[in-house]
Amino acid sequence: MVKISVNHGILRKKQRTMKLLQNQFTAKLFFSVFLLLPFFSALAQEEIKPKKEVYEVKIDSLYREDQFYFAFTYNTLQQKPAGLNQQKFSIGIGGGFLRDMPINKNRTKAFATGLGVSYNNYNQNLGISGTSQAPVYSILGPQSNFDKNKFTQLLIDVPLEFRWRTSTYESYKFWRIYGGMKFSYLAYSKSVLENSEGRTVITNNPDFNKLLYGLYLSAGYNTLNVYAYYGLNPVFKSLTIEGEKTKMNSLNVGVIFYIL
């Protein structure tokens, strides 16, 4: 009976020791996990943060100001010969597309080029008579009785411009200054003179310059901008009035709209 009692005592002592060791292991494991939680949290944040930054840079790197444009201008002739005056209101309209090519990291500076079409109308007292092969020019004075006298041009335009703007990829409302050179090919021309002698229409007058070029500038905020174009070469490549050669160029001012 004594041996049984001793064996049971030893067994109970071993059980208490094992239980104590298990409790100590559990406490140490819990404490270790508790200490490592901030480390895992910081590691997870570091893994997510670079992905967000890469995404933002990717959006900015694709940002461009490719635009459609529409212009409305008042057309005038410069370096006119004595006695030549413009009659009524001469208008011009144009439109096209421009491809934007940013050149700095913030994408506030860029070059652009594209393709467009413009129609220019000039109402004046330069009478064009004769034929398409042999046009005749004269100044229609106050005594001349004419109902209509004008010439029109249809041009294919290739603008080359430098751009400065305050835009970002998040906002389409910004200040801009765009300027450069525009090359225009004369695709079609027409002059109309209606007077007491009848109606004279001349198309594709060979005296018109086929290639026109000039400087232009547009500036403004958001969609609406002011616009000006100054021709560097004459509208007529050869124009003689009463024995005097004339080299008239164009000045067009108005407004231009940019639409993304």
- How big is the chain, counted in residues? 260
- Answer whether residue 3 shows pLDDT above 80: no
Interatomic CA distance for residues 155 and 211, integer angstroms: 9
Mean pLDDT of all residues in 166-183: 88
- Is the CB of residue 88 less than 8 Å from the CB of residue 110? no
Lowest mean pLDDT among 139-148, 217-226, 244-253: 139-148
Percent of the chain scoring above 70 in pLDDT: 77
Mind giving me the DSSP string for 108-168? -EEEEEEEEEEEEEEEBSEEEEE-SSSEEEEE--TT--EEEEEEEEEEEEEEEEEEEE--B
- Answer whether residue 33 shows pLDDT above 80: no
- Answer whether residue 9 shows pLDDT above 90: no
Percent of the chain scoring above 90 in pLDDT: 50
Tell me, what DSSP letter sits at residue 81? P
Interatomic CA distance for residues 209 and 64, integer angstroms: 35
pLDDT digits (tens, 9 = 90+) for 176-231: 999 999 999 999 999 999 988 889 999 999 999 999 999 999 999 988 899 999 99
- Alpha-carbon dihedral 71, 77, 79, 83, rounded to 10 degrees: -160
Ordered by start, the domain boundaries in the chain are: 1-62, 64-259
Lookup result for tokens 């410069």 = 78
Question: What's the confidence (pLDDT) of residue 4?
Answer: 45
Mean pLDDT of all residues in 225-239: 94
pTM over 0.95: no
Lookup result for tokens 């020791």 = 17
The contacts of residue 147 (CB under 8 Å, 6+ apart) are 194, 195
Distance of CA 95 to the CA centre of its chain: 12
Question: What's the confidence (pLDDT) of residue 55?
Answer: 46
Tell me, what DSSP letter sits at residue 237? S
Lookup result for tokens 């059980």 = 15
CATH topology of domain 64-259: Porin (2.40.160)
